[in-house]
Amino acid sequence: MPLTDEQRALRETVADFATEHLEPHAVHWDQTKHFPVDVLRTAAQLGLGGVCVREDVGGSDLTRTDAVLIFEALATGCPSIAGYVSIHNMVARMIDQYGTDQQRHRHLPALCRMDTLGSYCLTEPDAGSDAAALTTRARRDGDHWVLDGVKQFISGAGTSGVYVVLARTGGPGAAGISAFLLEPDTPGLSFGPNEVKMGWNAQPTRQVILDGARVPADALLGGEGGGFRIAMSALDGGRLNIAACSLGGAEAALTKAVRHLTERSAFGGRLADAQALQFRLADMRTELEAARTLLWRGR
């Protein structure tokens, strides 16, 4: 896929940001479980807080292809932070695409500035890949909805200001699921401890606990029973972005490997001159280019 001059400039700008603001700190952030919210807000100044959100609420209104280029470049500095920014953007796009005009103007300007962060609450302890089997329930109580259940492995939980929560308002299966917008001060909303993870420690990951969480009726996103369609639509772009993050991390790893082999000498010569290692590098480059081609084709 040939890139336009604007897309090349966009990728270079984000790559420069990753090199300056993410890469020098990525290891320290991971070791200390530091979530660099200040750096996220700096990224938002480049338009990365609402990549595919419409301009009337502060978004950049870019394409999915542009988003793929952005998240690959961002992940060369820190895949963990790039992954979270991807999730944040998925939340913003859900609200932009399916929210009412009131919901859009209430939440999206702050999300696009990343003054407010977003979390996507779909996964449960016993319902991850099988999203239609979720058991979190929401029942109507007058002018409110009351939610009960637990969401698992939620990126940004405890720090975010907007939570898109999928809950069952009807019968079994996908048709009984609705989406809700919750804010941190919602009565009955709490969070579990930060998960112990192997990597990706620069973004907090917690349970979202709903114990009689009470929200007004206008917190419903996209209409009753539309939650599963909304969730899957969001994942169409989210999966592409996460794939781009993986690709960017792999690209950075290959760049570091080449640098090491070029600088390191052993057994009387540079490691980069060893034919067996050259074959390995060639295989890695081939796999990366094949992955990139597949990702760009699937955008």
pLDDT tens for residues 52-67? 999 999 999 999 999 9
Q: Sign of torsion, CA 24 30 32 35?
A: positive
Residue 220 has pLDDT above 90, yes or no: yes
Residue 44 has pLDDT above 90, yes or no: yes
What is the per-residue pLDDT for 255?
95
Mean pLDDT, residues 127-133: 79
Q: Are 200 and 143 in contact (CB under 8 A)?
A: no
Tens digits of residue pLDDT in 77-91: 999 999 999 999 999
What is the per-residue pLDDT for 141?
97
What letter does residue 205 receive in the DSSP assignment? E
Say if strands 118-121 and 162-168 run parallel, antiparallel, or are unpaired.
parallel
Residue 30 has pLDDT above 90, yes or no: yes
| Interacting residues of 279 by C-beta distance below 8 A, sequence separation 6+ | none
Q: Which tokens sit at 241?
A: 């972005």
Question: How high is the mean pLDDT of the chain?
Answer: 95
Q: Are 153 and 205 in contact (CB under 8 A)?
A: yes
Q: Which of 234, 232, 231, 239 has the alpha carbon at shortest distance from 294?
A: 239
Query: 103: how many CB neighbours lie within 10 A of its CB?
Result: 19
What is the per-residue pLDDT for 132?
83
Confidence of residue 213 (pLDDT cuts 50, 70, 90): very high
Q: Which tokens sit at 296?
A: 């760009």
| Interacting residues of 63 by C-beta distance below 8 A, sequence separation 6+ | 52
Confidence of residue 268 (pLDDT cuts 50, 70, 90): confident
Q: Among 123-127, 131-135, 224-228, which range has the highest average pLDDT?
A: 224-228
The fraction of the chain above a pLDDT of 90, given in percent, is 92
Buried b (16+ CB within 10 A) or exposed e, 264-286: eeeeeeebbeeeeeeeeeeebee
- Kindly state the helix (H) or strand (E) to which residue 269 belongs, with its residue range: strand 269-270
Residue 297 has pLDDT above 90, yes or no: no
Mean pLDDT, residues 237-244: 94
Residue 128 has pLDDT above 80, yes or no: no
- Distance from the Cα of residue 187 to its chain's centroid: 26
The fraction of the chain above a pLDDT of 70, given in percent, is 99
Say if strands 177-182 and 162-168 run parallel, antiparallel, or are unpaired.
antiparallel
What is the per-residue pLDDT for 127?
81
Whole-model pTM: value is: 0.94
Which residue segments constitute the domains of the chain, with CATH numbers given? 118-230 (2.40.110.10)
For residues 238 and 120, give the distance between their C-alpha atoms in angstroms, rounded to a whole number. 11
Mean pLDDT, residues 203-230: 97
Confidence of residue 130 (pLDDT cuts 50, 70, 90): confident
Q: Which of 229, 220, 231, 136 has the alpha carbon at shortest distance from 175?
A: 229
Q: Where are the alpha helices (DSSP H) in 76-226?
A: 79-98, 101-113
Q: Are 142 and 182 in contact (CB under 8 A)?
A: no
Out of 50-54, 201-205, 295-299, pick the least confident. 295-299
What is the per-residue pLDDT for 131?
79
Residue 269 has pLDDT above 90, yes or no: no
